[in-house]
């Protein structure tokens, strides 16, 4: 059945984005592969039975707090089973399904004909990917409640509407990209961090970001005038360029080019997992088939032309679903944006938005609203007797000043990243304490996140913490010593200078 008036309102010109949607799904599948695989190699340490926040403990707490509404408050496939093998199965299955989504036109396209070429094959894959990643995000607690996780879920939900969807889906993707970029810039201005206002933010950012790579060291050495210009450019790209998204085609193409350029520069200087890659992929919806077509192989264009994505005449049920999602996402995202500006919940409105955002459909985005002026790290040392102390060797966070910062995109080592927050934010002391307890217990899944076990002879009896100030070396210092970092000992870490195994 045709969609009647919904067709006439929303499907005009939808064919102009069929290739865009087709390429987007292929790339989204790869983003899902990276996100799931990254979690698969660490999910047991984060949420397993011997992990930092065991999933069984979380489910029990959700059940006590929400009772019959537990499934809505904590939507997760782990209500069906929560053993360690389930966590691994969900993570690796998600990576496999993501790869299947990317390859679907070549290995599953014929199967779409079973449903009249309505795109049910891709839609089922997209629904499963969304539900599995949603489950892992809830399971990961602090470790997975990052903006890139939220962005992937919101983009993944909208992607479900592309098979058989209307042109309104294209607008919703643009709305998502606008919010991501503009809210990130707005948060910098209202955060109170003067470094964004006096254009000195990039003078500190490269060495104080959570997990820099070698490109950050080189960027940090740039002249001050260029770093200030980069800070001003960031504010322009995030505060002005997003409005071009809603202007005529030439302005949208300009917005896409500038946004992609800035994301490439960030990738060249920062380890932000798949975040910048996903932002680049979302910029596809600022283009159209006329702009994208000449860059794509002819075989891809032919497959896109026969795909069920964004058809000229969508079915009534699909068009209605798109409209229903828009009527939820847009008002909810306006509320979350208002909360960002007011820096507090919006009275009478935040309640229903909180329930909606159990599914991460209208998130708030605020990328690095504040930049630290110095890098403070907690160094953990282990001992069996209290006499000999061995520093823990993490894989990616700064420890040894001689160790080169690694380029790890699109992977995100969640523990290494979270420890960056600990010295400056008391809210993360519970996470830190749980991590230390698992170390003294000798949890194999947690110690596997380290480059080496704490001690060769077994779990450490004692752990102590010291605080260091890190800064990038100058080119002369690096030439003389070979060190990437210079660090200064600031003394014991309070309030947990020593932890002893019971």
Mind listing the pLDDT tens digit for each residue in 391-419?
Answer: 999 999 998 999 999 999 999 999 999 99
State the Cα angle at 210 between 131 and 397, rounded to 5°: 100
Q: How many domains does the structure of the chain reveal?
A: 2
Among 313, 328, 359, where does a domain finish? 359
The answer to whether position 147 is within a domain reads yes
Cα–Cα distances (Å) from 84 to 49, 51, 478, in that order, read 6, 10, 44
pLDDT digit string (tens) for 15-50? 689 999 999 999 999 999 999 999 999 999 999 999
Q: Is the domain of 272 the same as that of 399?
A: no
Beta carbons of 165 and 318 less than 8 angstroms apart: yes
pLDDT in tens, 50-65: 999 999 999 999 999 9
pLDDT tens-digit map of 451-494: 988 888 889 989 999 999 999 999 999 999 999 999 999 999 98
3-state secondary structure of 489: strand
- 166 by DSSP, 3-state: which? coil
Is residue 210's pLDDT more than 60? yes
Q: Is 314 in the same domain as 419?
A: no
Residue 364 within any structural domain of the chain: no
**Which helix H or strand E contains 406, and what residues bound it?**
none
CA atoms within 13 A on the CB side of 334: 6
DSSP letter at 390 equals E
Helix (H, G, I), strand (E, B) or coil at 443: coil
The predicted pLDDT at position 14 comes to: 59
Q: Specify if 190 maps to a domain.
A: yes
Give the global pTM: 0.94
272 shares its domain with 413: no
Alpha-carbon distance of 308 to 311, in angstroms, equals 6
Residue 371's SS3 state is coil
Determine contact, residues 6/166, Cβ cutoff 8 Å: yes
Look at strands 498-500 and 462-472 and give their pairing: antiparallel
Query: Quick check: is 181 in a domain?
Result: yes
Share of residues in the chain with pLDDT > 70 (%): 93
Domain boundary residue, one of 333, 359, 385: 359
Determine the Cα–Cα distance for residues 321 and 333; give it in Å rounded to an integer. 18
Residues 311 and 275 in one domain: yes
Residue 369 belongs to a domain: no
Inside any domain, residue 273: yes
Q: Tell me, yes or no, whether 380 and 434 share the same domain.
A: yes
Q: How many CB atoms lie within 10 A of CB 128?
A: 17
What is the 8-class DSSP label of residue 411?
-
Q: 412 lies in which domain range?
A: 375-500
Residue 312's pLDDT is 81
Q: Is the pLDDT of residue 345 over 80?
A: no
The residue among 334, 359, 384 that closes a domain is 359
Q: Are residues 67 and 155 in the same domain?
A: yes
Do 260 and 406 lie in one domain? The reply is no
Give the 3-state secondary structure of residue 14: helix
Residues 338 and 433 in one domain: no
The Cα 17–Cα 293 span in angstroms is 10
State the pLDDT at residue 356: 86
Residue 141 and residue 209 in one domain: yes
Query: How far apart, in Å, are the Cα atoms of 438 and each of 23, 277, 392, 435?
Result: 44, 34, 14, 5
Distance CA 10, CA 313 (A): 10
**380 domain residue, yes or no:** yes
**Residues 350, 451 within the same domain:** no
Q: Is residue 165 predicted with pLDDT exceeding 60?
A: yes
Within this chain, do residues 455 and 483 fall inside the same structural domain, yes or no?
yes
**Residue 365 domain-assigned?**
no
Please report the pLDDT score of residue 1 as a whole number.
39
- Host H or E run for residue 118: none
pLDDT of residue 6: 47
Query: Which tens digit of pLDDT belongs to each residue from 433-444?
Result: 999 999 999 999
CB 462, CB 68: distance < 8 Å: no
Read off the pLDDT of residues 97-154 as tens digits, 9 standing for 90 and up. 999 999 999 887 555 555 545 678 899 999 999 999 999 999 999 999 999 999 999 9
* Claim to verify: residue 354 and residue 379 sit in the same structural domain: no
């Amino acid at each position: 059945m045709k969609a009647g008036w919904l067709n006439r309102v929303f499907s005009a010109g939808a064919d102009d984005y069929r290739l865009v949607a087709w390429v987007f799904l292929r790339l989204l599948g790869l983003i899902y592969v990276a996100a799931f695989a990254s979690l698969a190699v660490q999910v047991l340490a984060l949420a397993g039975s011997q992990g930092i926040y065991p999933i069984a403990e979380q489910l029990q707490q959700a059940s006590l707090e929400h009772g019959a509404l537990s499934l809505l408050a904590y939507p997760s496939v782990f209500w069906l089973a929560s053993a360690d093998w389930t966590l691994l199965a969900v993570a690796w299955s998600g990576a496999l399904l993501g790869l299947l989504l990317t390859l679907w036109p070549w290995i599953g396209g014929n199967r779409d004909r079973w449903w009249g070429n309505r795109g049910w094959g891709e839609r089922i894959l997209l629904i499963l990917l969304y539900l599995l990643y949603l489950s892992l995000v809830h399971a990961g607690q602090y470790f997975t409640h990052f903006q890139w996780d939220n962005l992937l879920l919101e983009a993944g939900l909208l992607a479900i509407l592309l098979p058989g969807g209307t042109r309104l889906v294209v607008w919703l993707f643009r709305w998502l990209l606008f919010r991501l970029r503009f809210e990130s810039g707005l948060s910098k201005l209202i955060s109170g961090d003067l470094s964004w206002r006096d254009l000195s933010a990039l003078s500190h950012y490269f060495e104080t970001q959570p997990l820099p790579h070698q490109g950050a060291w080189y960027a940090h050495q740039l002249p001050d005038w260029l770093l200030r210009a980069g800070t001003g450019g960031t504010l322009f790209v995030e505060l002005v360029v997003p409005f071009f998204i809603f202007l005529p085609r030439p302005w949208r193409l300009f917005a896409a080019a500038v946004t992609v350029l800035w994301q490439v520069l960030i990738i060249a200087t920062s380890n932000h997992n798949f975040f910048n890659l996903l932002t680049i992929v979302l910029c596809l919806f600022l283009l159209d088939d006329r702009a994208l077509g000449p860059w794509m192989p002819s075989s891809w264009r032919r497959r896109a032309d026969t795909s069920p994505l964004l058809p000229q005449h969508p079915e009534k049920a699909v068009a209605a679903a798109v409209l229903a999602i828009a009527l939820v996402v847009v008002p909810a995202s306006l509320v979350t944006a208002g909360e960002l500006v007011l820096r507090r919940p919006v009275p009478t409105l935040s309640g229903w938005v909180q329930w909606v955002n159990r599914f991460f459909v209208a998130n708030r985005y605020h990328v690095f609203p504040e930049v630290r002026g110095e890098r403070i790290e907690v160094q953990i040392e282990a001992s069996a007797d209290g006499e000999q102390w061995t520093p823990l060797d993490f894989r990616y966070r700064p420890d040894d000043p001689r160790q080169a910062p690694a380029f790890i995109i699109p992977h995100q080592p969640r523990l290494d990243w979270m420890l960056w927050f600990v010295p400056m934010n008391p809210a993360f002391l519970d996470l830190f304490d749980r991590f230390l307890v698992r170390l003294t217990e000798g949890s194999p899944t947690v110690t596997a996140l380290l480059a080496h076990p704490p001690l060769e002879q077994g779990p450490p009896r004692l752990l102590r913490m010291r605080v260091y100030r890190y800064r990038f070396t100058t080119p002369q210092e690096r030439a003389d010593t070979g060190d990437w970092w210079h660090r200064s000992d600031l003394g014991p870490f309070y309030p947990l200078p020593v932890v002893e195994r019971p």
